[in-house]
Amino acid sequence: MNANNPLPRAVHASTDPKLFEFAELVGTTGPVGVEGGRSRWSTGGEPKPNTRLVRAPTGIVEYKADEMTVRVRTGTTVAELHTVLGQNGQQTALPQRQPQSTVGGAIAVGENDLDMLAKGALRTCVLQVRYVSADGKIITGGGPTVKNVSGFDIPRLMVGSLGTLGLLGEVVLRTNPTPEVDVWLEGELIDPFPLRYQLASAACILWNGEQVWVHLTGHRGVVESDRAILRSLASFNQIDAPPALPPHRWSMPPKNLQSLAGAAKASRGGTVPTGDFMASVGTGLVWANQQAPRRPLDPTVLEINQKLKANFDPTGRLNPGRNPSTR
């Protein structure tokens, strides 16, 4: 990337007619945004009232189970995608918050799945994106395989961008094996932080300062071994589903999570009373009953964000009103 040509060089139009139809819907003028399942519609602010809303195309284009990749149009629901992948014992790192949650919405919001310890971060799951640019062109970024791709990392930029840099129409995702066994356990309050290293099958460890929840996934023998470890530490009961999460999502360095206990100071300057938060050990994700106080962005980060927006969407027509910095 350079100052005069910040966009990727290796771009080309897709031959998928559905994407051409999508590009025609987006057009070249006027404020426009994509409407998905609205499961996270207010994240980062809602589009301005005069924004014309369009829907992304749907359907799975190509599924290579042996290569563990899938090409899917972004209007497809995560539930539909995972139903198809599940027939081959596979899944993705995309979260499904509601039955109507779409692939494009999940990527645009950039919220990781609860089982991030097992599935990895969402941004590493997205191998290639095809999006409609502010001038109505179909642009491809990234590569269709798990191999490293040189050049400008467009897929990672699109994850969490809320559709302000380009309107996603199609993506290639890496898939993961579906675990043989998965079980949620609810236990007494113990120190949750060593569990990250004691449990080989821990996909998620939740803690609210009063209780601990653990999601074990993987081969049966490994899961049973980890259950024995938990039984040796405290009383744990099997439950059907994870606990309900508070409405507001925070993010902080994983090493700072311990400061949440007992209304301690959190990384963004606020306080979170014990029992009023749910922290994901090892990931830094926190859900709380109150919004995180917003601190000003680092001036350098703010300048980079403004330049990216100016380069990708100089007229500001893509999802006006949405701001990834306030997620």
Q: Tell me what pLDDT residue 274 has.
A: 52
Q: Tell me what pLDDT residue 88 has.
A: 96
91 and 205 co-located in one domain: no
Distance in angstroms (rounded) separating the CA atoms of residues 178 and 182: 9
Per the prediction, the chain carries an average pLDDT of 87
Residue 123 lies in a domain: yes
pLDDT digits (tens, 9 = 90+) for 208-263: 988 999 999 999 999 999 999 999 999 999 999 999 999 888 888 888 888 886 54
What is the tally of structural domains in the chain?
2
Residue 111 lies in a domain: yes
DSSP, collapsed to helix, strand or coil, labels residue 215 as strand
Q: Tell me what pLDDT residue 182 has.
A: 95
Q: Which two tokens stand for residue 259?
A: 């400061």
Long-range Cβ pairs for the range 66-69 (8 Å, 24+): 67/145, 67/146, 68/146, 68/174, 68/175, 68/176, 69/127, 69/144, 69/145, 69/146, 69/172, 69/173, 69/174, 69/175
Q: Tell me what pLDDT residue 275 has.
A: 59
pLDDT digits (tens, 9 = 90+) for 169-218: 999 999 999 999 999 999 988 999 999 999 999 999 999 988 999 999 99
Residues 6+ apart with CB under 8 A from 112: 93, 95, 121, 122, 283, 285
Residues 6+ apart with CB under 8 A from 53: 32, 33, 34, 35, 47
245 and 196 co-located in one domain: yes
Q: What band does 264 get if pLDDT is binned at 50, 70 and 90?
A: very low
CATH number at residue 108: 3.30.465.10
Residue 293 lies in a domain: no
125 and 264 co-located in one domain: no
How far is the CA of 245 from the CAs of 205, 226, 258, in angstroms?
13, 25, 18
Half-sphere exposure of 1 (CA within 13 A, CB side): 12
Q: Tell me what pLDDT residue 112 has.
A: 92
- For residues 293 and 47, which has the higher predicted lDDT (pLDDT)? 47
Extended strands (E) in the chain: 32-34, 52-54, 60-64, 69-73, 90-91, 126-132, 138-142, 167-174, 176-177, 181-187, 202-207, 212-218, 236-239, 248-251, 277-280, 285-288
126 and 231 co-located in one domain: no
Residue 40, number of CB atoms within 10 A of its CB: 21
Q: For the residues 21-32, what does the mean pLDDT come to?
A: 96
Instruction: Give the rounded distance of the alpha carbon of 262 from its chain centre.
Output: 29
166 and 234 co-located in one domain: no
Characterize the bridge pairing of strands 69-73 and 60-64: antiparallel
Q: Tell me what pLDDT residue 147 has.
A: 56
107 and 204 co-located in one domain: no
pLDDT digits (tens, 9 = 90+) for 38-48: 888 888 888 99
Domain residues for 209?
181-288
- Nearest residue to 34 via CA among 109, 99, 95, 93: 109
